[in-house]
Amino acid sequence: MANTFNPEEDFPEVYKVCKLFNPSIDDLEKIKQAMDREITMGLSRDHHDRSTVPCHLSYVQDLPTGRERGQFLALEMMPTNCRIMLVKFSSERDIYTSSKCVIMPHTVAAGRGTEVFTFLATIIANFVKEKKVDKDNLPLGIAFAFTLKKLALDVGMLVSWTKEFGAQGAIGKDVVQLLRDALTKFPEISVDVMGIINVGAGSLLALCWAQPDTRIGLIMGSIANSCYVERVERCETYEGDEFRRLMIINSDWAHFGDTGQLDFIRNEFDRLLDTDSINPGTRIYEKFSGALCMGELVRIIVLRLMKAGAIFAEDRRDYIGIQWKLDMVSLIEIVSDPPGVYTKAQEVMDKFRIRHCKERDLAALKYICDTVTNRAAMLVASGVSCLIDRMRLPQISIAVDGGIYRLHPTFATVLKKYTRLLADPNYNFEFVITQDSCGVGAAIMAGMAHANKYKTDAKLFTMDY
């Protein structure tokens, strides 16, 4: 018979530490209200620059209905790879994608900005020739995982790369124009670059084509972000067509808490993680809910308790002492065993050279992991419920992209539970795992932008609304 443990009695030191990670409903409501204030500031003309949730305009103001037809190109540009896609929409439930994924060489990523975009243009040129659409002037949309300052749908000034890139020559320049310029080196092909969106907006649009009530895109991986659909009259920084009613907003909520909004629930372990990170004092909300940070929090807690002799007391600490060594995959494996079983947890500890563990210690480890991930889900629920209440719609779908939601055995359940507790009961919602990549959303954006641009010339493009 499997052993079961009572944390308060069987490992009280662990229980005491984990109590620091248990926010109350009042705490979560306070976070939700603070988030709403920061979003309102982010959308305002006068306070935008001071908000920790800057709410960047995407300039995507159309949502797909599922009746759109045609074929489009998309370029996904991520920190570790890029992918060119040909996406065909042929029926209400039928999306055909053909794609090629390429790892950008380090020498290119670390080179001049022009080299990065010449590399991307080369991939696009080879791909459209291979697919025999090189003369079709297909619309192309870009799904971009790096920080941009958007000035229009097809104008995005690069603010920063992630650590994998050193192409500083592109900083402060328009990414769309850099790609258009690079494509002129291939006069034998014809591609129409229509615009650029972030990953969250791409996920939202991709699901919206299949489920037209989709209004939120939620990114929960190594980065934490969200997009949602806002009413244009609330977007004070927008100076475009006043008759356009909607705007997809990139919340950029990873920075929520950077000016102290979350200090009341931060504990010594949160502060230690932040202090030792590569960006101390920033991206505080992401450090509560990002997959990498959850694993690091567990590692910090375990190491502290090992030093205190509370768990794994006689075991070696050299591997568990390595920063960021406990990743999301390990975290999920630890909590994937059935109750009272610790096989996978032991396998993870074997990687840290901590062998033949007592079941009590493995149960304590599992309890720590559950506590950290539950708190992360609760804090994400505060943000999601804030967005739901802002939109005031009777029913919405929420597009979710991220391994922690898909693979963790309880994260989704906790997220749904606390979102329901915090959101207005008059507003119904459904979390839906995105089956299509953000590139599909970028292709949809390109098609809709092309239809709007050439709506008086049916020969150039046809979309069935």
Over residues 345-380, the pLDDT tens digits come to 999 999 999 999 999 999 999 999 999 999 999 999
Band of pLDDT at residue 464, cut at 50, 70 and 90: very low
Q: Given a cut of 50, is residue 465 above it in pLDDT?
A: no
Compute the average pLDDT of residues 126-136. Answer: 96
**Is the four-CA dihedral 153, 401, 42, 149 of positive or negative sign?**
negative
Lowest-pLDDT range of 246-250, 422-426, 458-462: 458-462
Return the beta strands (E) in 185-272 as ranges: 191-198, 214-220, 224-231, 246-250
Q: Answer whether 78's CB lies under 8 Å from 91's CB.
A: no
**Is the four-CA dihedral 20, 25, 30, 31 of positive or negative sign?**
positive
Q: Given a cut of 70, is residue 27 above it in pLDDT?
A: yes
The top-scoring range by mean pLDDT among 148-152, 290-294, 345-349 is: 345-349
- Estimate the share of the chain in helix, then strand, then coil, as percent rounded to the nearest 5: 45, 20, 35
Closest CA to 389 of 39, 60, 65, 55: 39
Q: Answer whether 33's CB lies under 8 Å from 220's CB.
A: no
Q: What is the CA radius of gyration of the chain?
A: 23
Strand, coil or helix: what is 332?
Answer: helix
Q: Given a cut of 50, is residue 457 above it in pLDDT?
A: no
SS (H, E, C) 339-371: CCCCHHHHHHHHHCCCCCCCHHHHHHHHHHHHH
For residue 124, give every residue at least 6 positions away whose Cβ sits within 8 Å of its Cβ, in sequence order, or none: 73, 75, 84, 140, 183, 189, 191
Structure tokens, 449: 């932008």
Q: Answer whether 108's CB lies under 8 Å from 120's CB.
A: no
Q: Given a cut of 80, is residue 460 above it in pLDDT?
A: no
Residue owning tokens 């502290």:
304
For residue 186, give every residue at least 6 positions away whose Cβ sits within 8 Å of its Cβ, in sequence order, or none: 121, 122, 125
Q: Given a cut of 60, is residue 157 above it in pLDDT?
A: yes
pLDDT for the residue 2: 60
Q: Given a cut of 70, is residue 462 above it in pLDDT?
A: no
Band of pLDDT at residue 243, cut at 50, 70 and 90: confident
Q: Answer whether 320's CB lies under 8 Å from 302's CB.
A: yes
pLDDT for the residue 93: 67
pLDDT for the residue 156: 95
Q: Given a cut of 60, is residue 458 above it in pLDDT?
A: no
Q: Given a cut of 80, is residue 166 above it in pLDDT?
A: no
pLDDT for the residue 4: 83
Distance (Å, whole) CA 167 – CA 173:
12
Domains in the chain with CATH codes: 7-53+257-376 (3.40.367.20), 56-252+436-453 (3.30.420.40)
pLDDT for the residue 340: 92
Strand, coil or helix: what is 149?
Answer: strand
Q: Which strands sit side by side in the sheet containing 395-401, from one edge to the other? A: 56-57, 246-250, 224-231, 214-220, 395-401, 428-433
Q: What's the first-to-final CA gap in the chain, in angstroms?
A: 61
Q: Answer whether 115's CB lies under 8 Å from 167's CB.
A: yes
Q: Which helix (H) or strand (E) holds 376?
A: helix 359-391
* Bridge partners (DSSP) listed for residue 74: 85, 141
Q: What's the distance, CA 458 to chain centroid? A: 37
Distance (Å, whole) CA 146 – CA 170:
12
| Number of alpha helices (DSSP H) and beta strands (DSSP E) in the chain | 16, 13
Q: Given a cut of 70, is residue 163 above it in pLDDT?
A: no
Q: Answer whether 437's CB lies under 8 Å from 217's CB.
A: no
Q: How far is CA 261 from CA 27, 33, 288, 313, in A?
A: 11, 10, 13, 37
Long-range contact list for 82-86, CB < 8 A, 24+ apart?
A: 82/120, 82/123, 83/437, 83/439, 84/123, 84/124, 84/127, 85/437, 85/439, 85/440, 85/443, 86/127, 86/131, 86/133, 86/138
Band of pLDDT at residue 270, cut at 50, 70 and 90: very high
In this predicted model, which residue has the larger pLDDT, 229 or 112? 229
In this predicted model, which residue has the larger pLDDT, 127 or 90? 127
Structure tokens, 152: 């229009």
Tell me how far apart the 2 most distant CA atoms of the chain are, in Å: 76
Q: How far is CA 326 from CA 41, 160, 268, 271, in A?
A: 37, 27, 19, 18
- Considering the chain, what is the average pLDDT of its residues? 93
pLDDT digits (tens, 9 = 90+) for 191-208: 999 999 999 999 999 999
pTM for this model (two decimals): 0.92
Q: Given a cut of 90, is residue 90 above it in pLDDT?
A: no
pLDDT for the residue 293: 95
Q: Given a cut of 50, is residue 116 above it in pLDDT?
A: yes
Return the beta strands (E) in 93-179 as ranges: 94-102, 138-144, 147-152, 155-160
pLDDT digits (tens, 9 = 90+) for 204-227: 999 999 899 999 999 988 788 999
Compute the average pLDDT of residues 1-12. Answer: 86
